[in-house]
Structure formats: structure tokens, C-alpha cells
């Protein structure tokens, strides 16, 4: 089994997806911190799976001390130890005055300038920081609470609610702190309130701890709002299925995994309509089954242990051409 080839291939396809998402609709999403985020999350996941820091360091090709220092450097600002660079920059900009980019870079001179510029872009994109000017003349100020609420109300239709709903459905029951690590948005509380009030998300408190959960998640096909949530849900479903298959999880005798089929058809092909209608047929069948299951579950009490089945189906069509023989 050549795992390295498999890992390389998956990384390549994942970077294609990230690049496509970063330029969707003409936007230019900030990517300055992606490599560092991938490193930290890989390190955390290896640790969660019981891999020692020494072994993890070997897997990254780093000495243990170098590996630990890199984790600490990325988790904390080198200028302001004990907290993230993201938090430190936001606090510095929260003094109520416009601060030029050069001043920010001087303030955090011990940190990588590219990382600082990336944090400024991230904060500006999230609406937590207001920017005036561009390039070297750019100046920044932390947005006030009223300004953040105003910007959030304008973005109500940007799909954030649906994305948070999807994350709660897949990760819940989850605390506010846990969700905050997954959704780094200042208006997360407002989003959760809207989802709870709308009945999409349930808020429950036990022993003084509040957790959020959802019994279902729905995004209509071809919807202009919420497609980001659908992308996340599709991708997570595929990743969880593959990971469960690798760990051989699931009840004995029940298939966990996936199958991929390809067809070549063309106008006039006797099976063209049948092949092109597969996704619609599958959606109709699964939607009808989901309705029956939900109706039964609403009329019967769910046991303490049950099977949560995620079924995923996708389809893509590309135009191909045969090379002419010479």
C-alpha cells in the first residue's frame, strides 16, 4: 500500500478545491495563513489520535524541539506571548484610532510580517476591523459593536446562517466555545440566536453548560443562498465516510464506504436520459425515505443508542472528445 502517493493525490485535489473556493464569484479570499492552519490542525488531529509529539515531529521531518517551537509560534504571537496573533492584533486596533499598517508591523516586529498582513486581511474580511486606503497607506480600526451589528444585518443573506446550521448539525451537540473555534465570527451569537428562534437549531442547558444541536439540515438544490453550507456538508460527508472506512467502523455486516461509477453517453444514446437522470432519481428516492423516517421518529421515542447514517450521492458531467487516429 503506497500511502504517500494517496496522500499526495488527496492534497493535490484539496488544493484545487481551495483555490476554486478562494476565487468563486470573482472574490479573492485571503490565503496567507492557510499553510499554518493546515500544519496546526494536522498536529492537533495527530495528537487527538494518540500519536506522540515525538512521532508527529518525525512525520513532519522535524526535530522534536523545532516541532514544538513551531506549534507554539503559530499558536501565540511572538511579540505578545500567551495569546494568538489574531487576538493580539485585534486588541491593538481596538484603541479607537486609525492605525497605519506600518505601525502595526512595528508593534508586532517579532512576528512574520506576512503573517501580520494576513491577519489584517482576515480581520478586514470578517468585518471585525475597518480599513481605510490601500497598500502602504492603508489604516485600520477595530469596528465598534454597533458597526459590527450593522454589517452583520447587511450580510444576513450571505449564507452564514446556513453554514453555521450545517456545522451545528454535524458537530453538535456543541458548546458555544467549541463552535467559536470552528466559526471565527464576531456575530456567531447573533447567528445562533436566529437559528434557535427559527427552529433550525436547538439550545439545551444541562448542569450549567449550554449546548447547541440540530436534528436536520436542509439546503434546496441550486439555491443562491447557503451553497457554502452544502459544499461543507458534501465534503465532510465524504471525508467522514473515508475515515470510517479506514478505521473499519460501523456495525458488522453493514457496508461503510462508497462506490463511484462512470458512464459515456451522447445525444441519441439509448441510455442518455436514464444516466443523466440518476441524480434527480436518487434525490427523489432518498428525500421520500427521509420523510418516512422522520415521521416515524417524531411518533416514537428515540433510544439512547441508535445508528446515524449519512448517505452521500454526487454527480458531475464533463465534455470529453476522442483523439482522431492518424
Q: What is the pLDDT of residues 202-217, one digit of tens each?
A: 999 988 899 999 988 8
Helix 160-171 vs helix 188-198: angle between axes, to the nearest 10 degrees?
80
Higher-confidence position of 137 and 79: 137
β pairing state of 202-206 and 129-132 = unpaired
| pLDDT (average), residues 86-91 | 82
For the purposes of burial, counting CB atoms within 10 Å of the CB of 253, is it exposed (0-12), middle (13-18) or buried (19 or more)? exposed
Helices (H), 32-136: 34-48, 53-59, 64-75, 85-93, 101-107, 113-126
**Global pTM value:** 0.61
Report which listed range, 187-201, 213-227, 234-248, is most confident: 187-201
Taking only the tens place, the pLDDT of each residue in 281-309 is 998 899 899 889 988 988 999 898 988 88
Cβ count near 201 (within 10 Å): 23
Q: Could you give the CA distance from residue 129 to residue 147 in angstroms, rounded to a whole number?
A: 10
Question: How many C-beta neighbours within 10 Å does residue 130 have?
Answer: 18
Rounded to 5, what percent of the chain is helix, strand, coil? 55, 5, 40
Q: What is the per-residue pLDDT for 223? A: 63
User: ∠ CA 30-32-36 to the nearest 5 degrees?
Assistant: 130
Q: What is the mean pLDDT of residues 57-77?
A: 83
What is the percent of the chain where pLDDT is above 70? 85
State the DSSP H helix or E strand holding residue 275, giving kind and residue range, or none if neither: helix 272-276
- 139-142: strand order across its sheet: 99-100, 139-142, 129-132
Across the chain, mean pLDDT equals 82
Partners of 204 in the beta sheet?
211
Name the grid cell of 288.
421520500
Phi, psi of 184 (to 5 degrees): -85, 75
pLDDT for 156-169, tens place per residue?
A: 456 788 889 988 98
Quote the crossing angle between the two packed helices 160-171 and 227-246, to the nearest 10°.
20
Give the distance from CA 54 to its chain's centroid: 28
Lookup result for grid cell 491593538: 92
10 Å Cβ neighbour count for 160? 22
Check residue 266 and give its pLDDT.
Answer: 94
**Is the Cβ–Cβ distance between 24 and 11 less than 8 Å?**
no
What is the C-alpha separation between 154 and 104, in angstroms, rounded? 29
- pLDDT band of residue 274 (cuts 50, 70, 90) is very high
Amino acid at each position: 500500500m503506497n500511502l504517500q502517493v494517496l496522500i499526495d493525490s488527496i492534497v493535490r485535489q484539496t488544493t484545487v478545491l481551495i483555490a476554486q473556493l478562494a476565487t468563486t464569484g470573482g472574490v479573492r479570499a485571503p490565503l496567507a495563513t492557510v499553510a499554518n492552519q493546515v500544519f496546526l490542525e494536522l498536529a492537533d488531529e495527530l495528537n487527538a489520535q494518540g500519536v506522540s509529539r515525538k512521532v508527529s515531529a518525525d512525520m513532519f521531518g522535524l526535530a522534536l524541539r523545532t516541532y514544538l517551537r513551531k506549534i507554539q509560534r503559530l499558536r501565540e504571537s511572538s511579540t505578545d506571548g500567551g495569546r494568538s496573533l489574531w487576538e493580539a492584533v485585534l486588541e491593538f486596533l481596538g484603541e479607537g484610532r486609525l492605525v497605519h499598517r506600518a505601525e502595526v508591523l512595528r508593534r508586532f516586529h517579532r512576528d512574520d510580517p506576512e503573517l501580520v498582513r494576513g491577519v489584517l486581511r482576515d480581520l478586514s474580511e470578517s468585518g471585525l476591523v475597518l480599513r481605510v486606503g490601500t497598500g502602504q497607506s492603508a489604516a485600520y480600526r477595530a469596528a465598534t459593536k454597533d458597526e459590527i451589528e450593522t454589517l452583520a444585518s447587511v450580510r444576513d443573506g450571505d449564507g452564514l446562517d446556513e453554514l453555521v446550521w450545517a456545522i451545528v448539525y454535524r458537530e453538535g451537540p456543541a458548546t458555544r466555545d467549541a463552535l467559536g473555534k470552528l466559526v471565527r465570527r464576531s456575530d456567531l451569537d447573533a447567528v445562533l440566536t436566529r437559528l434557535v428562534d427559527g427552529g433550525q437549531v436547538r439550545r439545551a442547558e444541562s448542569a450549567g453548560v449550554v449546548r447547541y444541536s440540530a436534528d436536520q439540515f436542509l439546503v434546496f438544490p441550486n439555491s443562491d443562498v447557503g451553497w457554502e453550507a452544502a459544499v461543507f456538508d458534501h465534503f465532510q460527508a465524504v471525508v467522514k465516510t473515508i475515515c470510517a472506512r479506514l478505521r473499519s467502523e460501523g456495525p458488522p455486516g453493514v457496508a461503510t464506504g462508497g462506490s463511484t461509477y462512470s458512464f459515456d453517453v451522447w445525444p441519441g444514446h439509448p441510455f442518455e436520459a436514464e444516466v443523466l437522470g440518476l441524480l434527480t432519481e436518487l434525490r427523489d428516492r432518498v428525500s421520500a425515505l427521509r420523510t418516512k423516517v422522520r415521521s416515524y421518529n417524531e411518533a416514537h421515542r428515540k433510544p439512547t443508542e441508535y445508528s446515524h447514517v449519512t448517505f452521500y450521492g454526487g454527480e458531475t458531467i464533463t465534455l470529453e472528445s476522442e483523439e482522431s487516429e492518424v
